[in-house]
C-alpha cells in the first residue's frame, strides 16, 4: 500500500494506477472497473485539496453539532500512512453555537455521483480511539461515530409519495447502538439505508429510518473477527448494482445485501465524517439533539477524552465497466433490436416494464415505463457508443446491451 517506497520519480507518480485498479473485493470477480480520479484521493499531499473536497459549501444539515473543517480536517502522518485526520472537539469555553456544544469535521467530495450510478466506493479508515478514564463500562469508548456514507439532496419538487431523499451508509462505526434488547459493542457496525418521501401537506417530508423498515433498510453485523475499528487500518467498501447493494470490510462481504429499490434514483454525495453520539448527544424526535456536556453527568465524564480524531488513508470510487453485462442472480438476458441502431430500439418479450438505459460509466441516461414490446424506444438523443439496458417487471430483471451508431 502507500508504505511502499518508490526509488524512481516516475514510479511514484504512477503508484495510484499500479495498485488501485480494482476494489479489494466485489460481488462478481469477473467484473472490471475504472477508477474515477475526480472522486478519488490518496491524501498523500501536505495540504487538503479543497477543490476536490467541500470546506464549507453544501455540507450535511445536522442539529446536534457544527462542521468546522478549517480546524478539524488536516493532512497528517499516522501509523505509517500519509492520511487526513478528522477531529471532533468541544466548543471553546463550552460556548453554545446555535445550541450545540461540539464541532467536528467531514470530507465531502465536490463531485456528485450521477443518478443510476453503478460502481464501487471504498475507504481505508482508522477509527477514533476515544478512551474516557472517568467513565465506566462501555461508556469509556462512547461519544463519536466514524462514518463513510452517500446521501442525496432533498428533491422537494417531486410529486407526492415520491422518494425525495436517499442515503447509503457504507459503514457506521463505534455507535454502541441499543436495539431489540441487544447492546452493541465496539466490534458492532451498521451499513443501513435511509430515505424520505414527499407528503401531501406543503413541502412535508416523511423520514423512514432503518429501524422503521428493518427488513429492507437495517443491516447490523459484527466486524470480521470482532476487530476494534479504533485500533487499526481497515477497508470499508460498498458495491452498487442496479438491483442490489453489497457491503465489504477488508474484502469480506458483511451483513446482508439490500435491494436497490430507491437509492440510485437521486445523485449521491460521497462523504467521510466524524459524528457525535451518546453521551455527547441524545436521540429524540427521530434525530440527534445536543447535550450540554458540562451539565450532563455521563457526558462530563467523557470530556477528558476529547478532542479525538479518526483517520482516512484513501477514498476511491470506481465505475463498473460492464455495468449490466454481469448481473445479480435474478437477472436474465434481454433481447434488443435492431442492434446496432441509430434511432429506435425494440425489446423482445417486454410488457409493463420499467426501462433504464445506462452509459458505459454506469450513469442512467434514459428511464421510462414501457407498456409493451411493440412500443419503440427513441434513442436518437444518445451519443454513439455502447449502452446497457435493464427492464424491471414485478421484480423480474432482464439486462442486455446495444450499440448506438
Residue-averaged pLDDT of the chain:
88
What does the pLDDT look like over 30-69, one tens digit per residue?
Answer: 788 889 999 999 999 999 999 999 999 999 999 999 999 9
Give the contacts of 346 (CB within 8 A, at least 6 positions apart).
Answer: 336, 337, 338, 373, 374, 376, 377
Q: Span 119-146, mean pLDDT?
A: 97
Q: What is the pLDDT of residue 329?
A: 40
- Domains of the chain: which residue ranges? 9-320, 331-404
Burial class (CB in 10 A: 0-12, 13-18, 19+), 399: buried
> Is 165's pLDDT higher than 70?
yes
Least-confidence region, from 109-118, 191-200, 261-270, 352-361: 352-361
The answer to whether 172 touches 190, Cβ cutoff 8 Å, is yes
**pLDDT value at residue 401:** 79
Q: So what's the pLDDT on residue 362?
A: 58
pLDDT the model gives residue 18: 35
pLDDT over 70 for what percent of the chain? Answer: 88
In this predicted structure, the answer to whether residue 1 has a pLDDT above a threshold of 60 is no
Q: Is the pLDDT higher at 235 or at 328? A: 235
237 pairs with which residues across the strands? 122, 248
Question: What value, to the nearest 5°, has the Cα angle with vertex 90 and ends 87 and 96?
Answer: 130
Residue 399 has a pLDDT of: 75
**Residue 168 scores a pLDDT above 50:** yes
Comparing 243 with 300, the larger pLDDT belongs to 300
CB under 8 Å to 375, separation ≥6 — which residues? none
Residue 372: predicted pLDDT: 67
CATH architecture group of domain 331-404: Sandwich (2.60)
The architecture of the domain spanning 9-320 is: Sandwich (2.60)
Taking only Cα atoms into account, the Rg of the chain, rounded to an integer number of angstroms, comes to 23
Amino acid at each position: 500500500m502507500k508504505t511502499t517506497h518508490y526509488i524512481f520519480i516516475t514510479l511514484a507518480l504512477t503508484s495510484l494506477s499500479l495498485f488501485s485498479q480494482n476494489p479489494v473485493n466485489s460481488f462478481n470477480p469477473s467484473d472490471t472497473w475504472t477508477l474515477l480520479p475526480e472522486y478519488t484521493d490518496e491524501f498523500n499531499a501536505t495540504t487538503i485539496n479543497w477543490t476536490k473536497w467541500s470546506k464549507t459549501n453544501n455540507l450535511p444539515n445536522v442539529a446536534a453539532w457544527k462542521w468546522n473543517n478549517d480546524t478539524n480536517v488536516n493532512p497528517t502522518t499516522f501509523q505509517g500512512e500519509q492520511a487526513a485526520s478528522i477531529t471532533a472537539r468541544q466548543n471553546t469555553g463550552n460556548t453554545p453555537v446555535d445550541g450545540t456544544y461540539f464541532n467536528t469535521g467531514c470530507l465531502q467530495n465536490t463531485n456528485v455521483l450521477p443518478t443510476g450510478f453503478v460502481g464501487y466506493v471504498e475507504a481505508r479508515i482508522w477509527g477514533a480511539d476515544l478512551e474516557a478514564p472517568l467513565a465506566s463500562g462501555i461508556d469509556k469508548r462512547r461519544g463519536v461515530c466514524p462514518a463513510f456514507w452517500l446521501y442525496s439532496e432533498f428533491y422537494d419538487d417531486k410529486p407526492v409519495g415520491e422518494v425525495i431523499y436517499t442515503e447509503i451508509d457504507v459503514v457506521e462505526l463505534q455507535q454502541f447502538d441499543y436495539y431489540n434488547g441487544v447492546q452493541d459493542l465496539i466490534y458492532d457496525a451498521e451499513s443501513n439505508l435511509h430515505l424520505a418521501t414527499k407528503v401531501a401537506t406543503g413541502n412535508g417530508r416523511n423520514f423512514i429510518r432503518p429501524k422503521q423498515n428493518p427488513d429492507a433498510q437495517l443491516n447490523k453485523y459484527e466486524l470480521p473477527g470482532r476487530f476494534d475499528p479504533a485500533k487499526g487500518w481497515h477497508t470499508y467498501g460498498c458495491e452498487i448494482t442496479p438491483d442490489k447493494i453489497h457491503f465489504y470490510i477488508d474484502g469480506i462481504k458483511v451483513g446482508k445485501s439490500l435491494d436497490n429499490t430507491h437509492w440510485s434514483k437521486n445523485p449521491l454525495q460521497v462523504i467521510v465524517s466524524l459524528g457525535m453520539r451518546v453521551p455527547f448527544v441524545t436521540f429524540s424526535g427521530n434525530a440527534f439533539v445536543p447535550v450540554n456536556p458540562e451539565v450532563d453527568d455521563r457526558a462530563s465524564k467523557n470530556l477528558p477524552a476529547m478532542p479525538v480524531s479518526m483517520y482516512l488513508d484513501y477514498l476511491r470510487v470506481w465505475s463498473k465497466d460492464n455495468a449490466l453485462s454481469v448481473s445479480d442472480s435474478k437477472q436474465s438476458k434481454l433481447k434488443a433490436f435492431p442492434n446496432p441502431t441509430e434511432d429506435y430500439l425494440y425489446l423482445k418479450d417486454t410488457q409493463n416494464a420499467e426501462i433504464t438505459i445506462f452509459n458505459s460509466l454506469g450513469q442512467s441516461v434514459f428511464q421510462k415505463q414501457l407498456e409493451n414490446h411493440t412500443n419503440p424506444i427513441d434513442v436518437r438523443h444518445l451519443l454513439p457508443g455502447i449502452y446497457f439496458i435493464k427492464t424491471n417487471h414485478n421484480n423480474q430483471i432482464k439486462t442486455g446491451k446495444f450499440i448506438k451508431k
